[in-house]
């Protein structure tokens, strides 16, 4: 009974295929709202049209041959690709309420993917030398976050049905492009993104002891824009 009453409540925004810059605007707006107590801890699940993003540790030579204009962002890490078939989860969480432990938070993000992959028959792991999620010696997902006054944003990108040829134009996280793998390649069949998203939210609900209730961009804008400003759809 004690565990029941200690459970937190959060939001999950499932946005489908969304322009990267739009999603970045949502994240930044939610960071402000979360910091000011106007939003709950939020997970955003979506896909992006093809885009290259470069984190704080980016090196020009790792994306010099990219056909896409890079988007430079606040998260840690180097360069990566986002595109259709890749499920991205962004986490706007207030860590002042969760122990201010970034190492544990990063581990929790990875653990949610590991558990969800196990449910579809893929043994996924963390790596001692490289960040992200790995299947054998190949990389299935990337992890990178940013933090402002203990409120997190950015998160994880999971290659479910991703066209891996798109990685050929970059050195993802400084690695050779052929290190990347998708769940579809491992299983020999496509993965349903909505079903996998359900599994992911279920695992994060357990890991973070939080019940994530669905919201829409429109409801956030309607409820919060007048107080926080800047949250647009």
Residues known to be catalytic? 173
For the chain, state the CA radius of gyration. Answer: 17
Cα dist from 137 to 52, 78, 123, 209, whole Å: 23, 19, 12, 32
Helix (H) or strand (E) holding 25: helix 20-35
CB atoms within 10 A of CB 79: 27
Q: Burial of 34 by CB count in 10 Å (0-12 exposed, 13-18 middle, 19+ buried)?
A: buried
């Amino acid at each position: 009974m004690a565990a029941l009453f200690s459970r937190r409540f959060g939001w999950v925004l499932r946005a489908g295929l969304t322009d990267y810059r739009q999603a970045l605007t949502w994240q930044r707006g939610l960071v402000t709202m979360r910091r000011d107590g106007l939003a709950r801890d939020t997970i955003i699940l979506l896909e992006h049209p093809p885009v290259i993003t470069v984190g704080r540790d980016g090196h020009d030579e790792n994306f010099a041959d990219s056909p896409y204009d890079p988007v430079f962002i606040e998260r840690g890490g180097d360069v990566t690709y986002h595109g259709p078939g890749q499920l991205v989860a962004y986490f706007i969480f207030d860590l002042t309420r969760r122990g201010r432990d970034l190492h544990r938070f990063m581990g929790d993000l990875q653990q949610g993917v590991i558990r969800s992959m196990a449910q579809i028959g893929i043994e996924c792991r963390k790596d001692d030398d490289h960040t992200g999620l790995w299947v054998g010696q190949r990389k299935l997902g990337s992890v990178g976050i940013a933090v402002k006054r203990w409120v997190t944003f950015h998160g994880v990108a999971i290659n479910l049905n991703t066209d891996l040829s798109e990685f050929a134009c970059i050195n993802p996280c400084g690695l050779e492009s052929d290190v990347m793998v998708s769940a579809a390649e491992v299983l020999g069949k496509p993965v349903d993104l909505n079903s996998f998203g359900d599994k992911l939210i279920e695992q994060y609900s357990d890991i973070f002891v939080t019940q994530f209730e669905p919201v829409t961009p429109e409801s956030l804008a309607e409820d919060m824009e007048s107080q926080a400003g800047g949250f647009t759809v």
